[in-house]
Structure 1
Amino acid sequence: MAILFQLIGRLIKWTAITIIYLTPVLGVWLASSLAAYNNRSTSLAVLAGVFLFPILPMLWELRAQSKRRRSKERILTWGDRLTLRTLVINFVAIAALLVWQPRLSFIALSTRGDWMLGDLQGQPAQLIRQNLFKLANGLEGMYLSFNKNPFERYDDGSSKVQPQPQTDRDPFENLKQPDTAKPQPANNTNGWAWQGMGIHPAVANMPSSVETSIASVAQYIVSKESDPVQRIKALHDYVADRIAYDAESYFAGQYPPQDAETVFRTRKSVCAGYAKLLEALGKAAGEEIIYVVGDARTQTSDLSGQGHAWNAARVKGQWYLIDATWDSGYVDRSSGFTKNYRTEYLMPPPEVMVISHFPKDPAWQLLSNPLPLGEFLRQPMMKPKFFADGLQLVSPVRSQTNVGDEAKLVLANPKNVWLLASYNSKGGGNSQSCGHPVQGDQVTCKLPASGSYEMRLFTSTESQGEFNYVGQLEFNKS
């Protein structure tokens, strides 16, 4: 029995020692992933790891030995002391990196934590990659604790409803064109079942005398539209068409009241106000529409996105996702808000919506197997129109990739839509065209110098027609 306990003790000791000596590896992995994400040299991170072990622990031990009196009895062996010094030094180094860059550390590990595997795709490489990303997922809680969404405070608890995954992929099976009046012209960025359909006639032709209250507007829409799908569209259209995005408040980070009544009166809000007004209109119309919060990625945000609010609506017993804010127009710092009604984010398939919208409650992904946050970050940022155009990204399949002299997209393009691309330095800079429109399966951009770039893709049905933005990817040129 004594021998057994001795063996168990040794096993525990050597397991602990192994774990301790893995801390330098974890430190190098974290530092090198941050370097890869920021397009910096990963070699420096590896050299720093060598300094943290064995150089620095050994220097510490040598210095301690020079100060220690020879006659003093030593409780720990040289190896024990070196092990503990290794643990302390590397624990402090890792903790310092995580405290310094808590959000970016998770993003870097989740998107570039497999940088050392390069383009390897064999089974061993895939197994290593999967385990690296599983390990990165362990930091998700830290990321979320530092990732504050300013629009959560407007959630009154309606999103505590627990939806079932969406199973009916075609809510438009019996969809009829509205016949109360001729629809307004639709923007050609519309996709899915709404192709060619503009603002609902009940909204386009609504008398000003009706727009005196939320209840009055909702009752009018109910009286003009009996189809449940079209009724949800009309409610969405009212919010997307009547409300202007408050760009000034958005860029200042200071938001006025976002309650439905204030937004209805002022006709201006950020995303929370759009979502609260649509929720209130749904309630007044007898429709179940709730407020959803999470992160969303746009062409102006980084890979992680930023705090956002949108809606979910129950139609014919199924839940569908809606973002009236993004369907109202677009914003940039120089020109503010530009009105541009569309229906890209009106009940798209959940697997498409989750590319840009990551709800705080995973149930609101409406997927049978919700994506973890790390996988959301690894997805290229493609818009619903990309998929509505029948496009599929063949390569690259990650949001950020290392390249040589050129960035290249390979696509499946069964509808032969026209493709156009541009690039600019990450975080700003003038946009540069990548060449003439092509009607094929590849788009290439020559990158001028080392740096990080954003490549944007646009599509059109005509070579000389209007091209619409459908997504972007990041490329690092060494």
Structure 2
Amino acid sequence: MPLKKISFLFLFLNTLFLNVTFAQKVNEVDQIVAKYPKSLNTTEKLAEKIEKDFNSEEDKARAIFSWIAFNIKYDYSAFLNPQRVQGFSYSSEAEKQRKIKQLNDNLIQKTFNSKKGVCEGFTALYQHLASLVGLKSEVVKGDSKTRLADIGRKTISSNHAWNTVLIGRKWILVDATWGQGYYDGSKGRMVVDFAPIYFDTDPDFFFAKHYPDSGTFDGEKINKNDFLNGPLIYNSTIAEGYKIKSPDTGILEVKNGDKVTVEIKNLTKSDQIFYLNKKNQPVKVQNPKEKRGGLEFQIGIDANIGDYITVFIGNNSAVSFKVVRK
């Protein structure tokens, strides 16, 4: 790979939404939804179309995800300049719930009609459309892990939202906001890039990048330390099913002369693997060994290693670690 291209890729590493583009699978549901007419100008008409075209719960849930990803754009300006929280008074619990519902309904209609919003709008619209087609969906608020600076962060914040959807007896994870694209720091704008990996995401991958305020999913506790201190994974890792077996932490406490052993499942020797040194120069991994359905290799720590190590597989970043000098 030309050095110029590799250096350009490295510029993505400190953007807000850390998602490198690459080809992803578009299934039959997505292809049908992509051709939906613009005349579906109410949520009820859209829901009727989805119910007519799809029978299974999973296909309906996927169709909602796809439609939102194809049609709703992330409003980065609104993210940077959030509106004041709208307060209200009430005299009873019933009045309080009515006013909360009205605010939520207004958010849904605003997102649907303007075709833009932030994660609160994406998730409220998803839940609303799900209810119209007979699906049970919940909005989950929590933290997100998208930047190198998030590795080893000390505290949890509530800065993102996503959905869970009940398919049969199983709750699946859906992030329609991340499904529509990512923020390109080099261009200073959002880039539309459909990411179906954020529909029914493997929980192991999902919770490496998300942490719910409740600390639980489907009755199971999510390890907060694993979220805060784990490595940063990228879209290609999720899409290709690359399991990071070693190191088991995202924080590498090392000194010059040490060797860090990296093991990634679902890789073969035909895969091109490299990392960038602190001068943005590519360093090809030497002598990777096949191990347990993947590859194991070593990265030597020297003066050319910067504050982070990002491993690339082919053209795509796969995983990043934070380097802490002893």
Q: TM-score range by the shorter chain?
A: 0.7 to 0.9
| Number of equivalenced pairs | 273
2:230 to 360, 379, 387: 379
In 1, Cα distance between equivalents of 2:233 and 2:183: 18
Alpha carbons of structure 1 residues 222 and 297: separation in structure 2 relative to 1, 3 Å = same
Task: Determine the structure 1 residue equivalent to 2:165.
Answer: 313
Q: Does 1:433 align with 2:282?
A: yes
Q: Does 1:302 align with 2:155?
A: no
Greater relative contact order, per chain length (Cα 8 Å cut-off, separation 6+): 2
Letter in 2 for 1:444: I
Q: Aligned-pair RMSD on alpha carbons?
A: 3.1
Is the partner of 1:344 in helix, strand or coil?
helix
In 2, Cα distance between equivalents of 1:407 and 1:253: 45
- The Cα shift of 1:268 comes to 1.6
Task: Determine the structure 2 residue equivalent to 1:44.
Answer: none
Higher strand fraction (1 or 2): 2
Question: Any conservation in 1 of the 2:272–2:313 contact (CA below 8 Å)?
Answer: yes
Q: Does 1:343 align with 2:196?
A: yes
Higher helix fraction (1 or 2): 1
Flag the structure with larger Rg.
Answer: 1
Alpha carbons of structure 1 residues 247 and 357: separation in structure 2 relative to 1, 3 Å = same
Task: Determine the structure 1 residue equivalent to 2:75.
Answer: 246
Alpha carbons of structure 1 residues 217 and 342: separation in structure 2 relative to 1, 3 Å = same
Question: Any conservation in 2 of the 1:454–1:475 contact (CA below 8 Å)?
Answer: yes
In 2, Cα distance between equivalents of 1:448 and 1:248: 40
Letter in 2 for 1:220: K
In 1, Cα distance between equivalents of 2:83 and 2:302: 39
Question: Any conservation in 1 of the 2:111–2:125 contact (CA below 8 Å)?
Answer: yes
Is the partner of 1:240 in helix, strand or coil?
helix
- The Cα shift of 1:383 comes to 4.1
Q: Does 1:274 align with 2:122?
A: yes
Question: Over residues 388-425 of structure 1, what are the superposed CA-to-partner deviations in whole Å (9 max), with x where a residue is unaligned?
Answer: 53433233211111223477451144441624444477
Letter in 1 for 2:34: A
Task: Determine the structure 1 residue equivalent to 2:11.
Answer: none
Alpha carbons of structure 1 residues 294 and 444: separation in structure 2 relative to 1, 3 Å = same
1:324 to 147, 153, 176: 176
Task: Determine the structure 2 residue equivalent to 1:140.
Answer: none
Letter in 1 for 2:284: G
Superposed counterparts of 1:34-433, under 5 Å = 190=24, 195=25, 197=27, 200-210=30-40, 212-250=41-79, 252-255=80-83, 259-299=107-147, 301-303=149-151, 304=153, 307-335=159-187, 336-363=189-216, 365-366=217-218, 368=220, 370-383=221-234, 385-386=236-237, 388-405=239-256, 408-416=260-268, 418-423=271-276, 431-433=280-282
Name the TM-score, length of structure 2 as normaliser.
0.72
Question: Any conservation in 2 of the 1:422–1:455 contact (CA below 8 Å)?
Answer: yes
Letter in 1 for 2:180: S
Name the % identity: 21
Letter in 2 for 1:243: I
1:456 to 302, 306, 310: 310
For structure 2, the residue ranges without an aligned partner over 5 or more in a row are: 1-20, 86-105, 289-294
Is the partner of 1:259 in helix, strand or coil?
helix
Question: Any conservation in 2 of the 1:329–1:340 contact (CA below 8 Å)?
Answer: yes
For structure 1, the residue ranges without an aligned partner over 5 or more in a row are: 1-186, 461-466
In 1, Cα distance between equivalents of 2:325 and 2:44: 55
Name the TM-score, length of structure 1 as normaliser.
0.51
- The Cα shift of 1:277 comes to 1.4
- The Cα shift of 1:238 comes to 0.8
1:473 to 311, 321, 326: 321
Alpha carbons of structure 1 residues 255 and 397: separation in structure 2 relative to 1, 3 Å = farther
Alpha carbons of structure 1 residues 249 and 224: separation in structure 2 relative to 1, 3 Å = same
Alpha carbons of structure 1 residues 311 and 418: separation in structure 2 relative to 1, 3 Å = same
